[in-house]
């Protein structure tokens, strides 16, 4: 895993993290190259396909400038397999007691999923400073995070779930949002048809979006 300093440097440069579900291991290299060409410096690969771990492994070897995280981490097995595959950071949709136990054995960049003030406070007490706010739009959106920033200014969030190019700037303008995550940057159809140019164009547009916010 990477250090939080390296992760923060990557998302400071480009605060949009594509959250991608990849079905073909052979898409790893062209996908990583397309994201890099567009100027992105991180990607989260969800553990929702049989190819996901190999994709993480192969993407993490393409270029050091691209941090490759594992998402949809829900069990100890997911934690171990992702680290073995070479994941630079781990993202969870929420946190069960068993998962928290497993995560507590590891240092590095771990973004546990939260959707309430109490969950955020509990994770902060356990040592987590940056959390995935999920499912962002369904759980209250940018308004919710803005409200949390008053009593909990010390907690940072990466909202994902319903984030789009249209609402990303609302999130990124908040002081407690360090990055946003979203799947729009590479659709299943674009990957299936090998339309890497479309993906790299959307990555470039996302980088601009991050700069404007």
Q: Which residues are catalytic?
A: 44, 132
Output the smallest distance, CB 199 to ligand 3PG, in A: 15
Label residues 79-118 b or e (16+ Cβ within 10 Å = b): bebbbebbbbbbbbbebeeebeebbeeeebbbbbbbbeee
Torsion sign over Cα 88, 92, 95, 97: negative
Among 19, 87, 131, 145, contact with ligand 3PG (rule: CB under 6 A):
19
- Distance from chain centroid for Cα 67: 10
The mark string for 87-126 relative to ligand 3PG (x by CB under 6 A, - otherwise) is ----------------------------------------
Measure the CA–CA gap between 117 and 184, rounded to whole angstroms: 27
Output the smallest distance, CB 46 to ligand 3PG, in A: 6
Residue 161 interacts with ligand 3PG (CB under 6 A): yes or no? yes
Stretch that binds ligand 3PG, among 52-60, 79-87, 155-163, 201-209 (CB under 6 A): 155-163
Helix-strand-coil percent breakdown of the chain, rounded to 5? 45, 15, 40
Task: Report how far apart, in Å, the C-alpha atoms of 40 and of each of 50, 141, 142 are.
Answer: 25, 24, 23
The mark string for 166-205 relative to ligand 3PG (x by CB under 6 A, - otherwise) is ---------------xxx----------------------
Residues interacting with ligand 3PG, by CB under 6 A? 19, 46, 71, 134, 160-163, 181-183
């Amino acid at each position: 895993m990477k250090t939080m300093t390296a992760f923060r440097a990557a998302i400071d440069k480009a605060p949009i993290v594509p959250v991608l579900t990849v079905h073909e291991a052979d898409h790893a290299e062209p996908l990583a190259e397309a994201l890099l060409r567009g100027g992105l410096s991180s990607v989260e690969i969800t553990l929702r396909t049989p190819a996901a771990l190999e994709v993480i492994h192969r993407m993490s070897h393409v270029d050091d400038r691209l941090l490759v995280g594992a998402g949809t981490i829900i069990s100890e097995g997911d934690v171990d397999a992702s680290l073995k595959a070479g994941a630079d950071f781990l993202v969870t949709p929420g946190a069960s007691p068993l998962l928290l136990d497993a995560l507590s054995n590891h240092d590095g960049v771990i973004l546990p999923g939260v959707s309430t003030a109490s969950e955020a406070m509990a994770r902060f007490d356990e040592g987590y400073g940056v959390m995935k706010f999920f499912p962002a739009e369904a759980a209250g959106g940018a308004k919710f995070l803005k409200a949390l920033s008053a009593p909990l200014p010390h907690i940072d969030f990466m909202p994902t779930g319903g984030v789009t190019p249209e609402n990303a700037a609302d999130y990124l303008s908040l002081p407690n949002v360090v990055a946003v995550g979203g799947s729009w940057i590479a659709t299943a159809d674009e990957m299936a048809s090998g339309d890497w140019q479309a993906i790299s164009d959307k990555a470039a547009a996302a980088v601009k979006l991050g700069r404007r916010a």
